[in-house]
């Protein structure tokens, strides 16, 4: 190594020996921040344009820099960019390559900026694009959930509390519950996007810069809503990444609940639904097995995303202002959260419309579990009995039913009248599953009529996005 080889580093001037080989690898981020190349180049193009407008770069220099950066983008996309760990990160790799290809003008690009505002800008631009992709995937999944709700608006299933049969509900209503969770997730994503879409460019290392920069102009060129208000804050905080990961953790939590139900429902014991073979795999030893791997994996992957949220919070906690190298650790958890959630939303978006509902088994399960017991109590209240007494009376009839293996609707009028003589033949209207769900006919209720209205409103809400 020549005496001055260490000066290959853009910051090498004050150093008298080369970086330790291990330290070089340990401190580098290029292995994982390469994926920011597109947004890094866009940020640099905007910065160069602004420098030109401010009279810091002349027209020819701007042209050279722009052409050079666009060539580098092509080179990266072709797969023949010479990424180098000794150039530490995506920013220095691209800048060094620019200087290599266009000469001394390349060295002027970094005027009035620092990698600290550069990296904050890159992550925000990258995340903004990913947010938009995720929003589209989330909408697609919701369309599938709502379509299934419309298709199965009148299909009866047992509703559960404590995973014990509670009251009959419609399958469509159950699906719309999932849609509400996803709707709130979408709202959180859009809210997060507002705070992501702020430009840190111009904050430079931490204090701003002595050049006559135009921060509003670069913000506008890059499609940011505004330039950030404080240079120290701009380069130091990663709360926007934490917010995104919190959003992702909630979506994954919701999908894990959805998954848990799909796994249960596909089991022989429930047998409520079937998933097409293309979403399942078999067992290498048990020939009869068809495993719901997709929902199981989604359920499992919620763990890593929630882990990333805790990781990022812990990364940020107690960091002094302004930029610290700690922040280089923001990328892998953020990137993995993005990748994971995109995959999981895609899997669900493809799978949900293909769910095959087994209406007969669900109906039978709802019929078996005394799911209309509350309806009988409400019936007795309408006959003038106080609710607590009605509750007791129905409890006795359920005990009788368990003993004689009869559901309430299977008992004769005489059998029912043993428990209360105000019961008359009209009781059978409310003991049926259809009667039970149809009676819950108010906004937010499970009646098929309401489910159809709610599904229509949910579709309209999607269209207005």
Please report how close the Cβ of residue 237 comes to ligand ARG at its closest, in angstroms: 13
CA distance 152 to 343: 27
| Closer CB to ligand ARG, 35 or 257, in the complex | 35
| Closer CB to ligand ARG, 29 or 179, in the complex | 29
Please report how close the Cβ of residue 33 comes to ligand ARG at its closest, in angstroms: 6
The tokens of 194 are what? 């507002």
| Closer CB to ligand ARG, 325 or 403, in the complex | 325
403's CB contacts (< 8 A; 6+ apart) are: none
The answer to whether 118 and 32 are in contact (CB under 8 A) is: no
Of 265, 212, 225, residue with least CA distance to 53: 212
Q: Which of 2, 16, 162, 464 is catalytic?
A: 162
Stretch that binds ligand ARG, among 72-80, 112-120, 195-203, 308-316 (CB under 6 A): 112-120
CA distance 258 to 356: 15
Of 120, 124, 172, residue with least CA distance to 148: 172
Q: Is 116 one of the binding residues for ligand ARG (CB under 6 A)? A: yes
| Closer CB to ligand ARG, 39 or 358, in the complex | 39
**179 half-sphere exposure, CB direction, 13 A CA radius:** 29
How many residues comprise the chain?
A: 465
Instruction: Tell the burial category of 166 from Cβ atoms under 10 Å away from its Cβ (0-12, 13-18, 19+).
Output: middle
Among 97, 115, 308, 358, binds ligand ARG (CB under 6 A): 115
| Closer CB to ligand ARG, 234 or 328, in the complex | 328
Respond yes or no: is residue 38 known to be catalytic. no
Residues 392-421 that bind ligand ARG (CB under 6 A): none
Q: Is 312 one of the binding residues for ligand ARG (CB under 6 A)? A: no
Residues 13-72 that bind ligand ARG (CB under 6 A): 29, 33
| Closer CB to ligand ARG, 218 or 328, in the complex | 328
The answer to whether 85 and 19 are in contact (CB under 8 A) is: no
Residues 143-182 that bind ligand ARG (CB under 6 A): none
Please report how close the Cβ of residue 335 comes to ligand ARG at its closest, in angstroms: 12
Q: Which helix (H) or strand (E) holds 226?
A: strand 226-227
Respond yes or no: is residue 256 known to be catalytic. no
How far CA 353 is from CA of 8, 294, 348, in Å, comes to 56, 14, 9
The tokens of 310 are what? 């805790």
Stretch that binds ligand ARG, among 159-167, 296-304, 319-327, 393-401 (CB under 6 A): 319-327
Please report how close the Cβ of residue 50 comes to ligand ARG at its closest, in angstroms: 20
| Closer CB to ligand ARG, 116 or 167, in the complex | 116
CA distance 69 to 244: 30
Number of residues that bind ligand ARG (CB under 6 A): 10
CA distance 176 to 149: 6
The answer to whether 195 and 247 are in contact (CB under 8 A) is: no
| Closer CB to ligand ARG, 115 or 358, in the complex | 115
Among 119, 189, 201, 250, binds ligand ARG (CB under 6 A): 119
Please report how close the Cβ of residue 164 comes to ligand ARG at its closest, in angstroms: 51
Stretch that binds ligand ARG, among 76-84, 141-149, 257-265, 325-333 (CB under 6 A): 325-333
Please report how close the Cβ of residue 89 comes to ligand ARG at its closest, in angstroms: 4
Q: Which helix (H) or strand (E) holds 331?
A: helix 331-351
Cα torsion 39, 35, 336, 25 to 10°: value is -120
The answer to whether 98 and 64 are in contact (CB under 8 A) is: no
Stretch that binds ligand ARG, among 113-121, 146-154, 268-276, 298-306 (CB under 6 A): 113-121
Stretch that binds ligand ARG, among 114-122, 155-163, 185-193, 274-282 (CB under 6 A): 114-122
Pattern of binders to ligand ARG over 327-346, x per CB under 6 A? xx------------------
Helix (H, G, I), strand (E, B) or coil at 462: helix
Helix (H, G, I), strand (E, B) or coil at 53: helix
If one counts every other C-beta atom within 10 angstroms of the C-beta of residue 290, the result is 14
Please report how close the Cβ of residue 115 comes to ligand ARG at its closest, in angstroms: 4
If one counts every other C-beta atom within 10 angstroms of the C-beta of residue 441, the result is 12
Please report how close the Cβ of residue 352 comes to ligand ARG at its closest, in angstroms: 37
Strand-pair partners of 241: none
Stretch that binds ligand ARG, among 144-152, 190-198, 221-229, 323-331 (CB under 6 A): 323-331
Q: Which of 47, 173, 254, 283 is catalytic?
A: 283
| Closer CB to ligand ARG, 10 or 307, in the complex | 10
Q: Is 302 one of the binding residues for ligand ARG (CB under 6 A)? A: no
337's CB contacts (< 8 A; 6+ apart) are: 244, 245, 248, 305, 308, 309
Give residues in contact with ligand ARG (CB under 6 A).
Answer: 29, 33, 89, 115-116, 119, 323, 325, 327-328
Positions marked catalytic? 162, 283
């Amino acid at each position: 190594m020549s005496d001055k080889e260490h000066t290959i580093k853009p910051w090498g001037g004050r150093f008298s020996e080369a970086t330790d080989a291990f330290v070089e690898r340990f401190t580098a981020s290029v292995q994982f921040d390469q994926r920011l190349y597109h947004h890094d180049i866009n940020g640099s193009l905007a910065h160069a344009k602004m420098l030109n407008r401010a009279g810091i770069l002349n027209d020819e220099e701007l042209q050279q820099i722009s052409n050079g950066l666009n060539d580098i983008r092509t080179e990266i996309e072709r797969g023949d960019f010479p990424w180098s760990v000794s150039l530490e990160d995506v920013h220095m790799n691209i800048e060094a390559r620019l200087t290599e290809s266009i000469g001394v003008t390349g060295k002027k690009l970094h005027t009035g900026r620092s990698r600290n505002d550069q990296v904050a800008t890159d992550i925000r631009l990258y995340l903004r694009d990913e947010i938009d992709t995720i929003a589209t995937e989330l909408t697609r999944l919701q369309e599938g959930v709502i379509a299934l709700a419309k298709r199965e608006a009148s299909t009866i299933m047992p509703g559960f509390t404590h995973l014990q049969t509670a009251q009959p509900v419609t399958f469509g209503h159950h699906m719309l519950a999932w849609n509400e969770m996803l709707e709130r997730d979408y709202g959180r994503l859009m809210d997060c996007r507002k705070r992501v879409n702020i430009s840190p460019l111009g904050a430079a290392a931490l204090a701003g810069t002595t050049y006559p920069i135009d921060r509003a102009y670069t913000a506008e060129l890059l499609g940011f809503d505004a330039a950030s208000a404080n240079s120290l804050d701009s380069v130091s905080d990663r709360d926007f990444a934490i917010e995104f990961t919190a959003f992702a953790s909630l979506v994954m939590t919701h999908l894990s609940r959805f998954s848990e139900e799909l796994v249960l429902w596909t089991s022989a014991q429930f047998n409520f639904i079937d998933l097409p073979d293309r979403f399942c795999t078999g067992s290498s030893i048990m020939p009869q097995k068809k495993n719901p791997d997709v929902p199981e994996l989604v359920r499992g992957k919620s763990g890593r995303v929630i882990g990333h949220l805790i990781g990022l919070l812990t990364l940020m906690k107690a960091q002094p202002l302004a930029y610290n190298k700690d922040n280089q650790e923001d990328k892998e958890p953020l990137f993995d959260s993005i990748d994971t959630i995109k995959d999981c939303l895609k899997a669900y978006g493809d799978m949900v419309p293909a769910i095959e509902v087994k209406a007969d088994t669900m109906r039978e399960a709802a019929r078996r579990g005394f799911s209309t017991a509350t309806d009988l109590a409400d019936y007795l209240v309408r006959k003038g009995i106080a609710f607590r007494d009605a509750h007791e009376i129905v409890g006795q009839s359920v005990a009788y039913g368990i003993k004689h293996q009869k559901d309430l609707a299977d008992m004769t009028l005489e059998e029912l009248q043993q428990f209360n003589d105000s019961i008359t033949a009209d009781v059978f209207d409310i003991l049926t599953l259809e009667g039970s769900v149809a009676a819950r006919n108010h906004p937010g209720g499970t009646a098929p009529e309401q489910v159809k209205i709610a599904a229509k409103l949910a579709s309209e809400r999607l269209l207005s996005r």
